[in-house]
Amino acid sequence: MPAKNINDIVALCKRRGFIYQGSEIYGGLQGLYDYGPYGVEMMKNIRDAWWRAMVYERDDVEGMEAALISSRLLWKYSGHEAGFSDPLVECKKCGLRMRLDKMKDETKCDSCGTTDLTPPRDYQLMMGLSLGAVADGEINAYLRPETATTTFTNFKNVLDSVPHKLPFGIVQIGKAFRNEISPRGFVFRMREFEQAELQYFVRPGEDDAQYEEWKQTRMNWWITELGIPAEKLRFAPHEKLSHYAKAAFDIEYEFPDGFDEVEGLHNRQDFDLGSHTKGQGDFKIAAQVLENKESTVKLAYSDPQTGESFIPYVIETAMGVNRAMFAVMVQAYNDEDLGDGKSRIVLKLPPKLSPVKAAVIPLARNVPELLDMANGIVGDLRKLGLGRIELENSGNIGKNYRRHDEIGPPVCITVDHQTLEDGMVTLRHRDTMVQERIAATDVPARLREIVIR
């Protein structure tokens, strides 16, 4: 059974080194988190699973990585500078600042209940920078609030250097920054987070079918690659479409507090390339865009057959990597009653996502022969290149199993005195706690089968 309470996940993350509060030793800073030894491994595994499905297993998608800081002009023409804001309401009694659309009751303070509130005002979510010595304090650049815009502005670069016919896509995984009014839900709403986004460029007219296909592709990925059961996921249509969006659905996961967004899927029409292109008058742009006289490049596609030049439509899939990891942790968390008053907490992670792939444990500490044997197995397993393999040499086998249950390697391998005589080790399976004796020489093949299956 998945976690019933977010606090259980927060405690486990801190205890076992997945996620810590940012700036913790100075009292912490809201909405910012530091990822520890096992957190970085899991984030990497989720990124890898996404990149594999989106880039390596396709012919029509390229990857890129843009700078996190970009010119003010990108965010002027993307519409973010004027419009990327949330409605902010402040409580006049206790000073709490709230996002109007996320308040429990729009007429009352979430904390003290008073109705004495300020009228809503727009609150800019982007973090502005004054870059360089000559800037004199004025904002001339922004930390990006999404990866998408930096993909759009590189559309022509990528297309010129790696030619593609439509439809084709560009992906990025990387940090995004938003000065969220009220960060909440642990890593659910952060001020610095990571996105994995696809912008898929299609011919106008083929956009509806492509949108439907991507909806299914992405939902399947959540089920097959992240191991989330289908009944814990759903599509939720946006109640109000942005002016540029033709269609917008979220994929939602059922967290302990209810269903909430983990990925957004949008048909953005020609809004983005149309907003950033030079010579807007040369094209029939369907979306409503800001007049742009500052762009230096035409962000258009030339049809190789007809020679016609037009602005493609964009289908976007935008996942939060931190939210994905959070959902996977919630789903994998099990508090198991083992009978006789005993219990264990175990993370039943899909092996590909586990931060540690196997722990090798010499049964007794300080026995050189056992340690040598264990180190030999560790070396063989590391050669497989599956990820982190740990040598656990602290001696107490029961404690070691509990620790690794909470970290989530699919198997522990124990080397004991008998191993020195017959070359057999104990393979203990995390989920079932079943133990089997197998030859040490067979361990690498077994582990590969377990992790790659």
Minimum distance, C-beta of residue 43 to ligand ATP, in the bound complex (Å) = 13
Is residue 199 involved in binding ligand ATP (CB under 6 A)?
Answer: no
Is the Cβ–Cβ distance between 301 and 166 less than 8 Å?
A: yes
Q: Which is nearer to ligand ATP, 193 or 313 (CB)?
A: 193
Minimum distance, C-beta of residue 283 to ligand ATP, in the bound complex (Å) = 26
Is the Cβ–Cβ distance between 356 and 41 less than 8 Å?
A: yes
Q: What are the structure tokens assigned to 233, written together?
A: 């996921």
Minimum distance, C-beta of residue 180 to ligand ATP, in the bound complex (Å) = 5
DSSP string, 221-279: HHHHTS---GGGEEEEE-SS--TT-SEEEEEEEEETTEEEEEEEEEE-TTHHHHHH-S-
The angle that helices 397-407 and 6-16 make with each other, rounded to 10 degrees, is 120
Write down the residue that tokens 């006049």 correspond to.
92
Minimum distance, C-beta of residue 40 to ligand ATP, in the bound complex (Å) = 17
Q: How far is CA 442 from CA 372, 377, 378, 447, in A?
A: 17, 10, 13, 9
Q: Which is nearer to ligand ATP, 123 or 301 (CB)?
A: 123
Q: Which is nearer to ligand ATP, 101 or 213 (CB)?
A: 101
Is the Cβ–Cβ distance between 109 and 98 less than 8 Å?
A: yes
Q: Which is nearer to ligand ATP, 81 or 416 (CB)?
A: 81
Minimum distance, C-beta of residue 396 to ligand ATP, in the bound complex (Å) = 38
The angle that helices 368-382 and 443-452 make with each other, rounded to 10 degrees, is 40
Q: Which is nearest to 229 in space by CA: 146, 331, 124, 378?
A: 331
Minimum distance, C-beta of residue 242 to ligand ATP, in the bound complex (Å) = 10
Q: Which is nearer to ligand ATP, 177 or 301 (CB)?
A: 177
User: Taking CB under 6 A as the rule, which mask of x and - marks residues 177-196 in contact with ligand ATP?
Assistant: -x-x--------xx--x-x-
Q: What number of other Cβ atoms are within 10 A of residue 239's Cβ?
A: 6
Q: Which is nearer to ligand ATP, 319 or 359 (CB)?
A: 319
Residue 185: CB partners within 8 Å, gap ≥ 6? 6, 255, 257, 260
Minimum distance, C-beta of residue 289 to ligand ATP, in the bound complex (Å) = 19
User: Taking CB under 6 A as the rule, which mask of x and - marks residues 287-326 in contact with ligand ATP?
Assistant: -------------------------------xxx-xx---
Q: Which is nearer to ligand ATP, 68 or 371 (CB)?
A: 68
Contact stretch for ligand ATP (CB under 6 A) within 49-57, 112-120, 259-267, 304-312: 259-267
Q: Which is nearer to ligand ATP, 156 or 189 (CB)?
A: 189
DSSP secondary structure letter of residue 282: G
Nearest-Å Rg of the Cα atoms of the chain is 26
What residue is closest to ligand ATP based on CB? 320
Pairing, β 411-415 against β 389-391: unpaired
Is residue 262 involved in binding ligand ATP (CB under 6 A)?
Answer: yes
Minimum distance, C-beta of residue 282 to ligand ATP, in the bound complex (Å) = 30
Q: How far is CA 81 from CA 66, 127, 197, 322, 426, in A?
A: 19, 10, 21, 25, 60
Size of the site for ligand ATP (CB under 6 A): 16
Q: Which is nearer to ligand ATP, 16 or 178 (CB)?
A: 178
Residues of this chain, 321-380, that bind ligand ATP according to CB under 6 A: 322-323
Minimum distance, C-beta of residue 107 to ligand ATP, in the bound complex (Å) = 22
Is residue 214 involved in binding ligand ATP (CB under 6 A)?
Answer: no
Minimum distance, C-beta of residue 3 to ligand ATP, in the bound complex (Å) = 18
Q: What amino acid is encoded at 172 in this protein?
A: Q
Is residue 285 involved in binding ligand ATP (CB under 6 A)?
Answer: no
Q: Which is nearer to ligand ATP, 32 or 131 (CB)?
A: 32
Write down the residue that tokens 């740990």 correspond to.
390
Q: Which is nearer to ligand ATP, 320 or 350 (CB)?
A: 320
Residues of this chain, 126-165, that bind ligand ATP according to CB under 6 A: 146
Residues in the chain: 453
Pairing, β 168-177 against β 61-63: parallel
Minimum distance, C-beta of residue 278 to ligand ATP, in the bound complex (Å) = 27
Q: What are the structure tokens assigned to 352, written together?
A: 């590909």
User: Where on the chain is the footprint of ligand ATP (CB under 6 A)?
Assistant: 146, 178, 180, 189-190, 193, 195, 261-264, 318-320, 322-323
